[in-house]
């Protein structure tokens, strides 16, 4: 398989961060990264441009990290209560999904992408749960969610 070296213009989950020089398969570069403007081909001009922008990338990364750490503290400090209709043996009708948790977070004034909520399986019983939130590749605060009877 042919390898292609590219410079990432944006963070790409599972591949690298903005400004990284990475090797990917030719098809991945040609069909996904380059058309979506997530990366550029490696050339002398692009490498010079990367060196000039490296400080900007680092400042941007530090700003995002600081914002994520502040948000992480807010998430760790709250406890969401989500009401659900209950049947026998504390089993709830239906289930609580990442969408329900996302809506409750929005109601608490915290706006994140729904896909950052790492919920292995929908919640089907009353109780208190620790749900990881993936803010960045390194910052994963645990959100406390209590499912209570309506």
Please list, in sequence order, all residues whose beta carbon lies within 8 angstroms of the beta carbon of residue 81, skipping any fewer than 6 positions away.
Answer: 104, 146, 148
DSSP E strand boundaries for 1-150: 3-8, 21-25, 39-41, 79-84, 91-96, 123-125, 127-132, 142-149
Residues shown for the chain = 150
Span 89-118, pLDDT tens digits = 778 888 899 999 999 999 989 999 898 999
**The pLDDT of residue 35:** 94
For 10, phi and psi rounded to 5 degrees? -125, 160
Q: How many CB atoms lie within 10 A of CB 126?
A: 16
Span 30-82, pLDDT tens digits = 999 999 999 999 888 888 888 888 888 788 888 988 999 999 999 989 999 99
Given a cut of 80, is residue 88 above it in pLDDT? no
CB under 8 A, 24+ apart: contacts of 23-28: 25/1, 26/1, 26/2, 28/4
Domains of the chain: residue spans and CATH: 3-70 (3.40.5.10), 72-149 (3.10.430.100)
The pLDDT-based confidence of 1 (bands split at 50, 70, 90) is low
The pLDDT-based confidence of 14 (bands split at 50, 70, 90) is confident
Q: Supply 147's token pair.
A: 């499912």
């Amino acid at each position: 398989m042919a390898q292609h070296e590219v410079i990432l213009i944006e963070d790409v989950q599972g591949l690298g961060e903005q400004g990284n020089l990475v090797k990917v398969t030719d098809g991945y570069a040609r069909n996904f990264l380059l058309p979506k403007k997530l990366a550029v081909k490696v050339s002398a001009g692009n490498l010079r441009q990367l060196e000039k922008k490296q400080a900007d990338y680092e400042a941007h990364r530090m700003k995002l990290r600081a914002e994520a750490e502040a948000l992480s503290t807010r998430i760790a400090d709250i406890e969401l209560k989500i009401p659900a209709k209950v049947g026998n043996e504390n089993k709830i009708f239906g289930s609580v999904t990442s969408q329900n948790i996302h809506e409750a977070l929005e109601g608490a004034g915290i706006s994140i992408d729904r896909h950052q909520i790492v919920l292995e399986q929908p919640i089907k019983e009353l109780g208190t749960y620790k749900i990881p939130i993936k803010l960045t590749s390194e910052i994963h605060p645990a959100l406390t969610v209590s499912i209570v009877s309506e």
